[in-house]
Structure 1
Amino acid sequence: MLQRPPPSDRKKADHDAATSAALKCAYTLMQQRIISNPKDMMGILLFGTRDSKFHEDDPRSSGAFLYPHCYLLSDLDVPAAEDVKRLRAVVEDEQESHKLLVPSDEPVAMSNVLFCANQIFTTKAPNFSSRRLFLVTDNDNPHGQSKELRSSAIVRAKDLYDLGVTIELFPISQPGQTFDRAKFYDDIIYRASPDSDAPTPVSFAVRASTSDDGISLLQSLLSAIQSKSAPKRALFSLPLELSPDFRISVKGYILFKRQEPARSTYIWLDGETPQIVTATTTRLAENTAHPIENLEVKKAFKFGGENVLFAPEELKALRSSFGDPVIRVIGFKKRSLLPIWANLRPATFIYPSDEDYIGSTRTFSALHQSLLAKDKMAIVWYVARRNAAPVIAALLPGHEELGEMGEQQMPAGLWIVPIPFADDIRANPDMPTNLSAPDVLKDKMRLVVQQLQLPKAVYDPARYPNPALQWHYKILKALALEEDLPEEATDMTVPKYKQIDKRAGPYVLDWGKELELEYQKYSREQGHSGKRPAVSAPGDTSGDTKKVKKEDGVSDASISDDHVKSLFTKGKLASLKVQELKEWLIGKSALEKGRGMKKDDLISMIEAYWERKG
């Protein structure tokens, strides 16, 4: 079980045994699930070990003899800090690992493993709607030619499926070997049977994890298990109305959301041990501070300075004035007609469900395939919930995306993209249309962009976690596990300046030199000097000038009175240069020629001038 892989000179070669990689994967997942799903239960059962243990309190209990060579490392429960510490000790302490992970001298019966899992689910999570058993193994034929042990395992697997437990297999291929599911696990792992009438194929299973392709075993296990993690909680369950008398049922999910620190409870830290605070809310009258019951509270809207009271039934009728929540198809358009900027809020992913309407999956699949084949989108009337305002949205089909190991990273389905109304669209500022970079500049900039491309030209947001959020979780982890507080946060979003300079620096300098040459050439063609003029903002009148009488020390063109008055009104006279301030004051006979004054004094004189003007 602890046999390490052969030495290798490759940079990404594995150095951990399969068992150690599996435990490290469980340790990482336990920390992630505590943060993302703090109410989910998780347990770890080792099989094939020399020691046996079933109950936490009594290692020599009857369960250890009923399930030989099965070691319950962490019982099925909401993970606590002590569970994480225990698992961390096994993962990081080699002596503890060698003491615990001693392989048994005789082969373990998979029927005992499945029966043990059955008992754990029955006693710890009897009423859970989602129960899953993840099998991580590198033995594709644990029973050889024993038909009796094989049929016993098949019966135990059938019992688990009848109980509502889904078994997921995560095989590990050893170097030079191939994991063959057909030898044993195809008989106990029930795959979803494809629908012959459905246009979409069923997603295939996860490939065997291996390090032969340069990907570490730990990373491949993590990506494979995360792709098979429990489905997210549905945001809504609504009917998708294709015609007035034709509906199917769909569920909506938020796949992309800004992650923020979520506080589920308050903790009291003044005692000997931290305790969860029980919160209570009491409404008090403003004048008498008398407690108010919920029945005494009435809801009102202020109109014309008066409070207009509404009964609960009237409020309900107001909120449902747009009808029941629904996704109603009102037409179809070409997908190219929707620009990429026409998006108000994050898109919502919808997937079919046969709970309310039988055949919804088949119809949804046909709609999805038809939209993809014709490059079309559906325009829908979308009301997410009863008190929500209606939205005109685009229903876009999405392709299935698979990772390097064949795991599903993005499911195939439809996306609801809210479309802006005319009032939501801002007009772009007027920009010159006759300015275009020459081809030589474009070619040199193309070299810069090519040097800065990401690997495989794909941006993966999972590689750039929110640094503030990760720092928050690191502090929580250190406090809960009694570890040393981290000194600094790891920010993956900081650009790699040295690498950028090494790869693209010479090309950027070359592009800058070419830009200067092209500008000088353009200036000569336009009859301008080689010095670049200051660029003014749209609507800025700083370029407006008026001719004044030429005097000693005063230029032919001076800034206009309107522009100076505008800067005085906005309090931005300091944006003018000292020479400009002097020239304007000399033109108004408010300053003698050749007199040296500071900029603040000049600004004070101009302010006094416009204050006298009123």
Structure 2
Amino acid sequence: EAHEDNQQGRQITTSRDGTLMLIECAPQMFEPLANQMKQDSVIDDDDEDAQLTTGFQLVMRACQRFYQSKIISNDKDLSGIILYGTENSLNAFDFKHIYILHELAQPSAERIIQLENLSEQSRYKSKYDELFGSTQATGYSLNEALWTCSNLFSNSPQRLTIKRIFIFTCNDQPHASNLTLERQAKQRAKDLNDVGIELEVFPILTQTIIRFDFKKFFQDVLMLSDEDLDIRNNQEPTGRLNELLKLVYSKEHKKRAYCTVPFSLGKAADGTPLEFSVSVYNM
């Protein structure tokens, strides 16, 4: 009986999620955040928000916290980071201005330290220039960035229960001057949705980018209803770390199954096993 119990225990499959952070590196992401005071002020070492003065720093710190939370709560989940709009490129397809910072993997101390360095006020710019180049590019293709994400999911050595892409951007219409690139990006987003890959967008506002209109582009990417569009456009994008993390966690935790358990009804008349999987949720 003990042997049978062990066999049954091994059949329980723990849920494993995969999350890719797709981060825009447009010049506006390096401007002061919308919530920053325009006049010069002394930075309080105890005020984390005061030290995160740009959108890029804010997102890097949010990714760092996301990794840390994974180690504590779901250390088997996989996470990765892709940047687009960089001068340097690093990906399997030789796509221009797309840089894979972290492949899909379990979070590690090394990755967390790297993200901390990319968010700290005193060193983030030198670290950025060293890795990604000293200038930001505009000739990227969001379609190619999404394709890169899809490829990382396809090549994952682990079976993933949920696959999601979190887009951090300050640009509500990334291909406004190129309808072909815009159409390709929307089609790629639809293709990802068709194969069960979830997309979510987190707007980042700066002192020159003061409004984010989902209707221009991302309504089609996220396939939002008119009601959902109104809700999104009426939400005030955040420039504070805790508020951004709250939004990220709210999207990350939805529809998460804790594990799946095989359930057997015996055998059919022809001897075929009658089995199905039951998902267990932590409410």
Is TM more than 0.5 here?
yes
**How far apart, CA to CA, are the structure 2 residues paired with 1:251 and 1:127?**
15
Contact 1:172–1:208 (CA under 8 A) maintained in structure 2: no
Q: Aligned runs of 1:216-255 on 2, under 5 Å?
A: 216=240, 218-231=241-254, 232-233=256-257, 253-255=281-283
Instruction: Work out the CA distance in 2 between the residues paired with 1:126 and 1:192.
Output: 33
Q: Deviations over 1:14-69 (max 9, x none)?
A: 55200110011000110111110010000011111101112xxxxxxxx252x211
Match of 1:107 in 2: 139
Equivalent of 1:179, from 207, 212, 227?
212
- Given the alignment of the two structures, is residue 28 of structure 1 paired with residue 60 of structure 2, yes or no? no
Find the aligned partners of 2:143 and 2:244 in 1 and give their Cα distance.
24
Of the three residues 130, 133, 150, the one matched with 2:182 is 150
**What corresponds to 2:273 in structure 1?**
none
C-alpha displacement of 1:161 = 1.2
Shift of 1:210: 3.0
SS in 2 for 1:228: helix
Task: Give the aligned partner of residue 71 of structure 1.
Answer: 99
| Equivalent in 157, 163, 179 of residue 195 of structure 2 | 163
**Among 221, 244, 250, which residue is 1:188 paired with?**
221
Aligned-residue offset at 1:99:
2.9
Cα deviation, residue 77, structure 1: 1.1
How do 1:17-416 residues align onto structure 2 when only pairs under 5 Å count? 17-54=54-91, 63=92, 65=94, 67-92=95-120, 93-94=123-124, 95-101=126-132, 102-124=134-156, 127-175=159-207, 177-191=210-224, 204-205=231-232, 207-211=235-239, 216=240, 218-231=241-254, 232-233=256-257, 253-255=281-283
SS at match of 1:43: strand
Determine if contact 1:209/1:220 at 8 Å carries over to the other structure.
no
- SS class of match (1:53): coil
Q: Is the 8 A contact 2:173 2:216 kept in 1?
A: yes
Q: CA deviation at 1:7?
A: 3.0
Distance verdict in 2 for CA 1:192–1:132, change over 3 Å: farther
Residues 1:208 and 1:103: Cα distance change in structure 2 (over 3 Å): farther
Alpha-carbon distance in 2 for matches of 1:159, 1:220: 31
Q: Distance in 2 between matches of 1:252 and 1:203?
A: 33
TM-score scaled by structure 1?
0.33
Query: Are the equivalent residues in 2 in contact too, given 1:234–1:252 (CA < 8 A)?
Result: yes
Matched residue of 1:141: which SS? coil
Q: Is the 8 A contact 2:86 2:97 kept in 1?
A: yes
The answer (yes or no) to whether the contact 1:47–1:113 under 8 Å persists in 2 is yes
Contact 1:174 1:210 survives alignment (8 Å): no
Aligned residue in 2 for 1:4: 32
- Structure 1 residue 100: deviation in Å? 3.2
| Residues 228 and 7 of structure 1, relative CA distance in 2, 3 Å threshold | same
2:53 counterpart residue number = 16
1:160 is displaced (CA, Å) by 1.1
Cα distance, 1:85 vs structure 2: 3.0
- AA in 1 matched with 2:38: P
Residue 453 of structure 1 corresponds to which residue in structure 2? none
Alpha-carbon distance change, 88 to 51 in structure 1, aligned in 2, over 3 angstroms? same
Distance 1:69 1:220 in 2: 29
Change (3 A) 1:254 1:157: closer
> In 2, distance between residues paired with 1:190 and 1:121?
21
Question: Residues 48 and 103 of structure 1 are in contact (CA less than 8 Å); yes or no, is this contact kept in structure 2?
Answer: no
Offset of residue 189 of structure 1: 1.1
* C-alpha distance 50-142 of structure 1, shift in aligned 2 (>3 A): same
Query: In 2 relative to 1, CA 253–193 (structure 1 residues): closer, same or farther, beyond 3 Å?
Result: farther
Offset, 1:136: 0.5
Give the Cα–Cα distance (whole angstroms) in 2 for the partners of residues 236 and 118 of structure 1. 24
Equivalence for 1:316? none
Deviation, 1:159, is 1.8
Q: Which position in structure 1 is the counterpart of 2:26?
A: none
Cα distance between partner residues in 2 of 1:51 and 1:208: 32
The 1:64/1:17 distance shift into structure 2, 3 A limit, reads: farther
Paired-residue identity, %: 26
**Alpha-carbon distance, 1:186 to partner:** 1.0
Q: 1:233 corresponds to which letter in structure 2?
A: A
Consecutive unaligned residues in structure 1, runs of 5 or more: 55-62, 195-200, 238-249, 256-614
What does residue 242 of structure 1 align with? none
Question: Structure 2 vs 1, CA of residues 254 and 167 (structure 1 numbering), >3 Å: closer, same or farther?
Answer: closer
Aligned runs of 1:419-458 on 2, under 5 Å?
Answer: none
Paired with 1:202 and 1:144, the residues of 2 have a C-alpha distance of 19
Output the TM-score relative to the length of structure 2: 0.68
Deviations 1:161-219 (A, max 9, x none): 1221000111112236210111111111123798xxxxxx99955935234xxxx2x22
Could you give the per-residue CA deviations for residues 93-135 of structure 1, whole angstroms, max 9, x where no partner exists?
3321343354434332111111111111111167422000000
The structure whose RCO (Cα within 8 Å, separation 6+) is larger is 2
CA contact (8 A) 2:257 2:282 kept: no
Q: 1:547-597 CA deviation, whole Å, 9 max, x = no partner?
A: xxxxxxxxxxxxxxxxxxxxxxxxxxxxxxxxxxxxxxxxxxxxxxxxxxx
Aligned residues: 223
Coordinate RMSD, CA, aligned: 3.3
Moved over 6 A (4+): 9-13
Q: CA deviation at 1:254?
A: 4.3
Verify the 8 A CA contact 1:210 1:220 in the aligned structure 2: yes
